[in-house]
Amino acid sequence: MRRDLGGLSSENATAVARHLVMVAELLDADPARALEHARAAQRRAGRVGAVREAAGLAAYRAGEYEEALRELRTARRLTGSQVHLPVMADCERGLGRPERALDAASGTGVDALDRAGQIELAIVMAGARGDLGQHDAAVLSLQLPELDSRVPAELEEAQERLREAYDDALVAAGRPPRRRGGGGGGAAASPVDQVDDGVVSWDEA
For residues 39-60, give the mean pLDDT: 97
Q: Are residues 56 and 87 in the same domain?
A: no
Give tens-digit pLDDT for 159-184.
999 999 999 999 999 999 987 444 44
The range of the structural domain enclosing residue 91 comes to 82-198
Tell me the CATH number at 74.
1.25.40
175-191 burial: b if 16+ Cβ within 10 Å, else e? eebeeeebbeeebbbbb
How far apart are the C-alpha atoms of 80 and 151, rounded to whole Å?
28
Q: Percent of the chain having pLDDT more than 70?
A: 87
Q: Are residues 99 and 41 in the same domain?
A: no
Cβ pair 191, 120 in contact under 8 A: yes
Which of 45, 80, 115 marks a domain boundary? 80
For residues 191-201, give the mean pLDDT: 42
Q: Are residues 8 and 76 in the same domain?
A: yes
Q: Are residues 74 and 93 in the same domain?
A: no
How far apart are the C-alpha atoms of 14 and 109, rounded to whole Å?
33
**Within a domain: residue 205?**
no
Is the model more confident about 148 or about 190? 148
For residues 181-199, give the mean pLDDT: 45
Total domains in the chain come to: 2
pLDDT at 41 over 60: yes
**Rounded to two decimals, what is the model's pTM?**
0.84
- DSSP label at 185? S
How far apart are the C-alpha atoms of 116 and 122, rounded to whole Å?
10
pLDDT of 194 reads 41
pLDDT at 192 over 60: no
Q: Are residues 106 and 177 in the same domain?
A: yes
Cβ pair 143, 126 in contact under 8 A: no
Which of 80, 110, 134 marks a domain boundary? 80
Round the average pLDDT of the chain to a whole number and report it: 89
Lowest mean pLDDT among 78-87, 88-97, 101-110, 162-171: 101-110
Q: Are residues 67 and 92 in the same domain?
A: no
**Within a domain: residue 203?**
no
Q: Are residues 151 and 88 in the same domain?
A: yes
pLDDT of 2 reads 76
**Within a domain: residue 147?**
yes
**Within a domain: residue 126?**
yes
Q: Are residues 161 and 185 in the same domain?
A: yes
Which of 45, 64, 80 marks a domain boundary? 80
Q: Are residues 74 and 118 in the same domain?
A: no
pLDDT of 178 reads 86
For residues 93-110, give the mean pLDDT: 91
pLDDT of 130 reads 98
Give tens-digit pLDDT for 104-160.
888 778 999 999 999 999 999 999 999 999 999 999 999 999 999 999 999 999 999
For residues 60-89, give the mean pLDDT: 96
Rg (CA), the chain: 18
How far apart are the C-alpha atoms of 59 and 31, rounded to whole Å?
8
Q: Are residues 190 and 103 in the same domain?
A: yes
**Within a domain: residue 179?**
yes
Q: Are residues 121 and 76 in the same domain?
A: no
**Within a domain: residue 204?**
no
Q: Are residues 52 and 123 in the same domain?
A: no
pLDDT of 6 reads 83
For residues 27-43, give the mean pLDDT: 97
